[in-house]
Structure 1
Amino acid sequence: MNEPFSYDVESAIFIRFAMVGPPVLNGLAAKGQRRRRDPYSATLFARDIVQSLRRQIGFRRQGEPVGDAVVEELLATVIWDIPVEDFVVLVGIDATRRDAVKRDISKRLAERLTAEYEIFPAPAFYHGHTGTGPLGPKK
């Protein structure tokens, strides 16, 4: 019997917080060089999340696959709508508060993705530069 597909989108997004560079979070917290929020930081973070998720899953709406750019645009909008105060906590010193905010933001982003799209298994195999999977070989 087939098991229903389940993938922990929230945890996958939470992990991306550890990988995203400080300049991106600083841009969202208005703590970067320009001292104001940088909308491109939301785009970069959304792109990073989608690229990471797409290694294991795909997105569909009404049975039709949805392109990465569409998902990135939705996520960038959702990220941008998160209050600047939450991102200030993310670049702050207090690790307990940082983790709580990361968990909260991850949950919000995952809920929005799963509300908008059907998640389905679509693993992208990478076999190095000489591989035969969809991510290789490089030209």
Structure 2
Amino acid sequence: MPGPKYDIEGAIFIRFAMVGRPVLNGLAAKGQRRRRDPQCSILFARDIVTALRAQIGFRRDGEALEDATVQEFLRAAIWEIPVEDCAVLVGIDATPRDAAKRHISKRLAERLKTEFEIFHAPAFRHGDSGTGPLGPRG
């Protein structure tokens, strides 16, 4: 019996709305330095993987992978997005901006599904040091 389906594309699309404008500007070479900032692809990949890991896990050859492995793969995939496509993400007009977010989200989701086996693995987190339903305080 297959497990529940998870909308990876939708989750990535939401991360575009949640990620800081400086990160998108850095990917689009529209920041202060007017150059692409490789650190922005690292930050965005980390943000996406953290959000996805709340519900799913990633395996390769039946072995569960560390988040860092998935983050590095996604960082490279984000960095491969042409700067022109990223520039649309920080444009004024919402219609092409949302279309670009949808298109890029779809491409990133497809790459993740092609590279990794996705499995249902809801993560229960009660703060960073939680150990149970109530977890330690402070």
Deviation, structure 1 residue 17: 0.4
Task: Report if the CA contact (8 A) 2:3-2:119 is conserved.
Answer: no
Aligned residues: 137
Deviations 1:58-91, CA, capped at 9 Å, x for gaps: 0000100011001000100000000001111110
Q: Which runs of 4+ in 1 moved over 2 A?
A: 2-5, 126-134, 136-139
Greater relative contact order structure (CA < 8 Å, 6+ sep): 2
Structure 1's unaligned 5+ residue stretches are none
Amino acid at match of 1:94: D
Q: Report the secondary structure of 1:27's partner residue.
A: helix
**Coordinate RMSD, CA, aligned:** 1.9
Amino acid at match of 1:47: R
Deviations 1:70-124, CA, capped at 9 Å, x for gaps: 1000100000000001111110101000000000000000000000111111111
What residue in structure 2 maps to residue 47 of structure 1? 46
What percentage of aligned pairs have identical amino acids? Answer: 71
Amino acid at match of 1:51: T
Q: Does 2:15 align with 1:11?
A: no
What residue in structure 2 maps to residue 87 of structure 1? 86
What residue in structure 1 maps to residue 55 of structure 2? 56
For residues 104 and 132 of structure 2, the distance between their equivalents in structure 1, rounded to whole angstroms, comes to: 33
What residue in structure 2 maps to residue 76 of structure 1? 75
